[in-house]
Structure 1
């Protein structure tokens, strides 16, 4: 603890000595230069205030500040005089790292040397401060440069981030656009596939033309018009000029208030029939141009992607229409051939006859099923039912060959088994890999028996006058054409007067889900249920049986039915009714 030192300051010299004393004390206590300069600067300012306020009495005290020996320099001031201009008391402190020495604070006397030393010391302190300031200024410049570089880097980084953000936005926009385009393309391709399946599902031109508006309106067109060249022109007969141009040039045409710029499509002025909305006219070209499909836009324009899909749909529609046209031609040819193969039933004394033929509803409506009734030279009658395996024109041709050969063999008065044996040999050698089934029954006038032979054919059914039903299924032979030699044998069955013999093909009784046996049983029950009075109308009975057993509108196979009825005892047979060779 240093004893307090009290001094009066009323002049500049006294103020200088106080400052010198404070400088020496702080220096002796190891106060850092910057802290000393701050403290002495503040003291100088206070001393000027003292001189301006008429003087003051200052007390310098150095005492221990902390337990580790650090010192505290304390300067307090009291005004010398009282009055209005009296300076208020003030206090300055400076914490010094050095320990407080014992004894009073007594600096050297105020001579010239002391003042000079003080000035020099002040200059040294100022130099230290200046050096510190220079260092601080250098560091400040360095930091400012670093800050500038950092700012430039930050600006560059912000620019890069901004560019990256713009690129990312552009990529996201491009991705969204690509996804949208992919989704539109997927939707158009899905529609094209579904629409193609719809127009190619039928071989009927009317069905194809009816389904087009349902497919295209209202999403892809507001109106659909089809102009087929081989159809008569209606009363209005008006055609778009673009449709006529499409038919003439065999190229899609677009007509609208504004050019469509559609790929692969020519642009024409707006149509007089549709001045406000554009129309797209697509030639229906397969092997040849058969018409024009005209679509009126659902809005102000046709989309490019949509137009490409519509052009492709028009092409597929043209193929479907051409296939339907060719099918109709083949079907007409096949029907003509089928009608030529099925002859009218002959008039046979003592034998009632009725027949039915139903073509399959799938394919060309032509098959290998046939029936025939052939009088022999000896007066007997052959009732024949046959079925060539397969379907279509080839089966019908083979059926015609078999029918012709059978009639030729029948002239020689051969029995059923002999005729089948000869047919088997002919088919095996002339048409390998083609098979057929057949059954032949021979009636003799006045004979209450029937001779028959079968080649893999469903068994004939006999209905006796009392309503009993039995099958003629004893020892059936192999199918005609099977690659092995075979001799068929005649079978004889009792056929009382008034009995009905039913010959049929498997299309009448066979169903995929149930097989053939349940169908034969159903045929037997239907025959048993027929009354004797109903059997007087044999043709009506044939129609009833078809209605009961072949009422399915979708048939995969032909149906053939032949009824042969012997007259009741003591009666003559009624003249045969004309057969109905094709019933739908």
Structure 2
């Protein structure tokens, strides 16, 4: 179908526009497309009328592929007045599917019919405007929904941001808490380890040296320990910082610097006082009684942390206690050693019979114990030698040892054999100290009889070296320990002495080792004694005693006191005596 209109006037254009709208409706073109077609056609026809001349509008409905279902409008010039070389105007719209092609009636020529037709043609425009209104309402609705959705999304993002920030804050707080916990654990570990190091020594100078090595460089740049009663006069009289003097006078830690320290438990030194070149932390070394010094610290590479200062104050308190304990121990040790030396007997000098004694305190603990030795004469001229050991250590054991020594000398005035003397000591100790025990060996040398008489009570057996180098352990049945709740009579034992013989009396500290027991130690002692020559023993018994101790004590530290008494009958004892048939003591 092809329809053609020739247009030279405005009514021609109006009729053509109305006819086009009707034909498009007849071909099932939608209202939106009809309005678009008629509006574009009207605009083009207005331009054509403006340029003048006659114009032709062709409207063609294609029925053959590939343009089947399309309605095409083409405007061309009939007078060839379009000299601008513009191509013909055209526009194509889609027809409705399944709508049979129909022909529309032409518009009448009268004005009233044309106006009515024009009004009818505006129905498509009204429909478009109505659809546009609906679309606008729909757009407004969707815009409101979008705004609400955006607000929700923004709120959700805000909540997510807040949750994320809260999570970051929690992670930061957790990381900080872990760091603080690790730092606290490190400080507590250091405090425990440092306390163990400080209390491991009983020498106060060593405690001071260890304190300096512990703090530098992690907790202090330098360390100065000011002890009020130090032995070094130069250190005592050396000038001290004003903050240290204030700490010593008040007993409170002081911080001296050009800025406040704000440290817990520490007073800021007055700024009016002379300030040191570097910040100082002065902590009193307190004890249970009175302050004994001040610990003066300069800061490490970084400033002191508040928790570090709390730890330093506690460590200083423990160091003060360790120094005080070490000084107490040193004082008691000096007293004990003085008492021990006072209680040990000067051995009598006897022609023909040489004596040598050695006493070595334990290497651990207070250097005093219950070991003792003694040698004295009885009224009949016999020489009594004794070695014993009171259970325990310390001043109490030393006092009991002194009482036993005095009691033995008192009993020996009335005479008596070694067994009788030990029996009396057993009764004496049982009544004097029921919970204290002792062991002892007594050996008697008589000038008129070359016979050795001895008795033992719970003590390691004597060892006898004969002139031929043979060594015998005098292990005849001994009595029980002195002081145990048991009635006993301790028996005497005898052995013949020949010139050149040596008797070794000793305490268990010389031969007993925890991992081996006592028997291997006695065997080592006997073997060592057998290596000596009679000539060496005759010449210098003291040197022989030292040579005997060295290999026996070089293997380990001593947990017990060591006491050794060597009794050597000179090889020429008869020659040394005034009477050839009588041994002179």
Same fold (TM over 0.5): yes
Q: 2:5 — aligned with what?
A: 7
Q: 1:234 — aligned with what?
A: 234
Give the TM-score normalised by structure 1: 0.89
Rate the CA distance shift 1:469–1:134 in 2: closer, same or farther, 3 A.
same
SS in structure 2 at match of 1:454: strand
Aligned residues: 571
C-alpha separation in 2, matches of 1:441 and 1:241 = 68
C-alpha RMSD of the superposition = 3.0
String of CA shifts for 1:461-498, please: whole Å, max 9, x gaps: 11111111111112233322333333332222333221
Equivalences for residues 474-513 of structure 1 within 5 A: 474-513=476-515
Q: 1:362 — aligned with what?
A: 364
Give the TM-score normalised by structure 2: 0.89
**Counterpart contact for 2:336–2:395, Cα < 8 Å:** yes
**Counterpart contact for 2:258–2:275, Cα < 8 Å:** no
Rate the CA distance shift 1:297–1:411 in 2: closer, same or farther, 3 A.
same
Rate the CA distance shift 1:110–1:88 in 2: closer, same or farther, 3 A.
farther
C-alpha separation in 1, matches of 2:65 and 2:426 = 137
1:337 to 326, 336, 339: 339
Rate the CA distance shift 1:393–1:55 in 2: closer, same or farther, 3 A.
farther
C-alpha separation in 2, matches of 1:65 and 1:554 = 124
Rate the CA distance shift 1:70–1:395 in 2: closer, same or farther, 3 A.
farther
C-alpha separation in 2, matches of 1:502 and 1:273 = 70
Rate the CA distance shift 1:274–1:363 in 2: closer, same or farther, 3 A.
farther
Mapped pair 1:210 → 2:234: no
Equivalences for residues 142-181 of structure 1 within 5 A: 142-181=141-180
C-alpha separation in 1, matches of 2:513 and 2:445 = 31
SS in structure 2 at match of 1:60: strand
Rate the CA distance shift 1:449–1:408 in 2: closer, same or farther, 3 A.
same
String of CA shifts for 1:260-286, please: whole Å, max 9, x gaps: 222222222469886321222222211
Q: Return the offset for 1:155.
A: 4.1
1:543 to 537, 543, 546: 546
Q: 1:568 — aligned with what?
A: 571
**Counterpart contact for 2:71–2:92, Cα < 8 Å:** yes
Q: 2:29 — aligned with what?
A: 31
C-alpha separation in 2, matches of 1:155 and 1:574 = 123
C-alpha separation in 1, matches of 2:573 and 2:193 = 68
String of CA shifts for 1:239-277, please: whole Å, max 9, x gaps: 222222222222222222222222222222469886321
Mapped pair 1:440 → 2:442: yes
SS in structure 2 at match of 1:59: strand
String of CA shifts for 1:58-84, please: whole Å, max 9, x gaps: 3322245889x9832222343312252
C-alpha separation in 2, matches of 1:114 and 1:533 = 169
SS in structure 2 at match of 1:511: coil
1:305 to 275, 285, 307: 307
**Counterpart contact for 2:353–2:573, Cα < 8 Å:** no
SS in structure 1 at match of 2:339: helix
C-alpha separation in 2, matches of 1:487 and 1:279 = 73
Equivalences for residues 38-437 of structure 1 within 5 A: 38-52=36-50, 54-64=53-63, 71-82=69-80, 84-85=83-84, 88-101=87-100, 105-112=103-110, 114-231=113-230, 233-234=233-234, 237-269=238-270, 275-286=276-287, 287-298=289-300, 302-437=304-439
C-alpha separation in 1, matches of 2:45 and 2:122 = 20
C-alpha separation in 1, matches of 2:253 and 2:577 = 67
String of CA shifts for 1:260-316, please: whole Å, max 9, x gaps: 222222222469886321222222211211122222334685443332222222211
**Counterpart contact for 2:285–2:319, Cα < 8 Å:** yes
**Counterpart contact for 2:363–2:558, Cα < 8 Å:** yes
- Structure 2 residue runs without a partner (length 5+): 579-585
String of CA shifts for 1:154-198, please: whole Å, max 9, x gaps: 444444445445544544444444444333333333332232222
C-alpha separation in 1, matches of 2:352 and 2:471 = 21
C-alpha separation in 1, matches of 2:437 and 2:516 = 24
Q: Which moved more, 1:502-511 or 1:46-55?
A: 46-55
Rate the CA distance shift 1:65–1:498 in 2: closer, same or farther, 3 A.
farther
String of CA shifts for 1:388-434, please: whole Å, max 9, x gaps: 22222222222223222322332332222233333333334442333
**Counterpart contact for 2:254–2:267, Cα < 8 Å:** yes
Rate the CA distance shift 1:484–1:114 in 2: closer, same or farther, 3 A.
farther
- Structure 1 residue runs without a partner (length 5+): 576-584
SS in structure 2 at match of 1:409: helix
SS in structure 2 at match of 1:533: helix
Q: Which moved more, 1:323-332 or 1:422-431?
A: 422-431
